[in-house]
Amino acid sequence: MSSSENPQTARLVSDSQSEMTEIILPNDTNTLGNLLGGRLMHFIDITGAMAAYRHTRTHVVTASMDHIDFIHPVHVGDLLILKASVNRAFRTSLEVGVKAWVENTFNSTRLHVASAYLVFVAIDQNGRRVQVPELKPVTADEQRRFADALLRRRHREAEAVRRKKERQAAAEVAAATS
């Protein structure tokens, strides 16, 4: 029995790992036939949400998506492969890592396109935040991602405080000069 069948138990990373493959069509691309960055972010969000749904078995909303570098272009007709894993569950939020590759349909080569970390928040039917099941990392890679996710959470929190102070300082300057 998969550990995700019992809501009381800690979940394994393998319980919620998710994968999506998309063929890139003209509607997904810019005027040069390359996948649009925003469209790639959409696919990343959807794949990450699948893992978050499977881990929490409730509704989730995207709270944040970290910095993304677009490392390699994706062309019309290519296959885009996305894989998502939950890195760590907190109280009502969880961090999911998503990695995307492009596969050339004719020669089957695969290249890394982009990676991102997303934070999802679990909510119930009425939009109230709900506690998420614990994550139990098993392999060395899962344990490393679990530890790193806490560092990234602290970094996000520090950034949020810094941005808030910056906004307050700007508002004070605006008030003093108006």
Ligand X SMILES: CC(C)(COP(=O)(O)OP(=O)(O)OC[C@H]1O[C@@H](n2cnc3c(N)ncnc32)[C@H](O)[C@@H]1OP(=O)(O)O)[C@@H](O)C(=O)NCCC(=O)NCCS
Site mask, ligand X, residues 142-171, x = CB under 6 A? --------------x---------------
How far is the C-alpha of 58 from the C-alpha of 127, rounded, in Å? 11
Question: How big is the site for ligand X, counted in residues (CB under 6 A)?
Answer: 12
Q: Which among 37, 41, 149 has a CA at the least distance from the CA of 87?
A: 149
Interacting residue with ligand X among 62, 70, 83, 111 (CB under 6 A):
62
Interacting residue with ligand X among 100, 121, 135, 149 (CB under 6 A):
121
Classify 160 as helix, strand or coil: helix
| Residue 101 near residue 110, CB atoms below 8 Å | yes
CB of 63 to ligand X, least distance (A): 4
How far is the C-alpha of 110 from the C-alpha of 102, rounded, in Å? 5
Q: Is 92 in the site for ligand X (CB under 6 A)?
A: yes
- Using CB under 6 A, which of the segments 12-20, 27-35, 58-66, 103-111 binds ligand X? 58-66
Q: What are phi and psi of 159, to 5 degrees?
A: -65, -40
CB of 55 to ligand X, least distance (A): 13
Please count the other Cβ atoms lying within 10 Å of the Cβ belonging to residue 48.
Answer: 29
Q: Judged by CB, which is closer to ligand X: 33, or 59?
A: 59
Binding stretches for ligand X (CB under 6 A): 61-64, 90-93, 119, 121, 129, 156
